[in-house]
Amino acid sequence: MVPAPCADRFVTSVAPGEPWTDDPYAQALRAGRGPLYLRSLGPLTPGEAELLPLEVERWCAAPDAADTEVLGRCTGPVLDVGCGPGRLVAALAARGVTALGVDVSPAAVARTRRHGGAALRRSVFDRLPREGRWGTVLLMDGNVGIGGDPAALLTRLRDLLRPGGRLLAEAADEDVDQRLTVRVEDAHGRHGRPFPWARVGTTALLRAADSTGWILTGRWSVGRRSFLELHRPTSERQEPDAARDGHVAPPDHTPTTGEGPQVNGPSGLHGHRVR
Ligand SMILES: C[S@@+](CC[C@H](N)C(=O)[O-])C[C@H]1O[C@@H](n2cnc3c(N)ncnc32)[C@H](O)[C@@H]1O
């Protein structure tokens, strides 16, 4: 994106086909529905799907049971990274929780604001407000894929949180660990430009979180959706090695939704280095 002078201020000119910006994603968000896909341009191994459906209808709807469980774990202020049309930001605002969505898509930012949420058109890798002071960062709906390098993204998110702050991250619903080149495409083959993306299931997400110094404090599923709660250590003493010695134990929440999230594993791995 190139800033272009315009009368008395600078505006951002968008190159044609800019991912998530000037491609079929914007039209789908305006309509509130798909069908819409990420088309994988590779590398693909035999049996891997080429078209990954994007759940535009769900993103444009009210929060579902899985979202409600996530909302219950949020401590403000909350930053929703890749907020899309903003159902979570709007729901947090309605609960009186300070929340901001960031998204590169003008259509996503506009829709979030229309629904009562605050949103900023910016990349998560750009300078953001309250760096190092967010209480919770959300990474939902496949957004672990942003940038195509989960470890780089997790490192960036760690710096956005205050010490002891939490990341609520959704994993892919398959046990995958893929780095892909993709593009957004609609049912008629209209598409934007290719960009790097990643698909990361729970195992690979745990591995990436371990390598970037997070402390795992919760792990659960609702239906097909799987989530991790990760904490930024509060101090050097709470860095992962100290956590193993029992210095870290932020309490996990008891599952609250009617559908009853499944908390995986006997221990839930509370307060321990990700393993
Ligand atoms: C898979 S969609 C998830 C949508 C979303 N969580 C929702 O509730 O609708 C990915 C979202 O991330 C946004 N995005 C992609 N790259 C981004 C970046 N570098 N920084 C911030 N947002 C980004 C896209 O515009 C899109 O809205």
143 lines ligand 1 (CB under 6 A): yes
Q: From ligand 1's centre to the CA of 137, what distance in Å?
A: 14
State whether the Cα torsion 110-31-87-154 is positive or negative: negative
Evaluate whether residue 27 is within a structural domain: no
Evaluate whether residue 51 is within a structural domain: no
Domain containing residue 239: 63-179+197-273
Any idea which of 41-45, 91-95, 116-120, 132-136 has the lowest mean pLDDT? 41-45
| For ligand 1, atom 19: residue with the closest CA | 123
101 lines ligand 1 (CB under 6 A): no
38 pLDDT higher than 80: yes
What whole-number percentage of the chain has pLDDT above 90?
Answer: 75
Peptide bond into 240 cis (omega under 30): no
128 lines ligand 1 (CB under 6 A): no
Question: Which numbered atom of ligand 1 lies nearest the CA of 86?
Answer: 8
* pTM of the shown model: 0.86
Q: From ligand 1's centre to the CA of 143, what distance in Å?
A: 6
Separation between Cα atoms, residue 79 and residue 92, nearest integer Å: 10
245 pLDDT higher than 70: no
Residues 100 and 121 sit within 8 Å (Cβ to Cβ): no
β-bridge partners, 52: 38
- Which CATH number characterizes residue 147's domain? 3.40.50.150
Evaluate whether residue 72 is within a structural domain: yes
Domains held by the chain: number: 1
Evaluate whether residue 86 is within a structural domain: yes
Evaluate whether residue 247 is within a structural domain: yes
**Nearest alpha-carbon partner for 168 in 75, 254, 89:** 75
β-bridge partners, 220: 227, 263
- Phi and psi (nearest 5°) for 95? -85, 0
Q: From ligand 1's centre to the CA of 12, what distance in Å?
A: 18
Evaluate whether residue 18 is within a structural domain: no
Evaluate whether residue 33 is within a structural domain: no
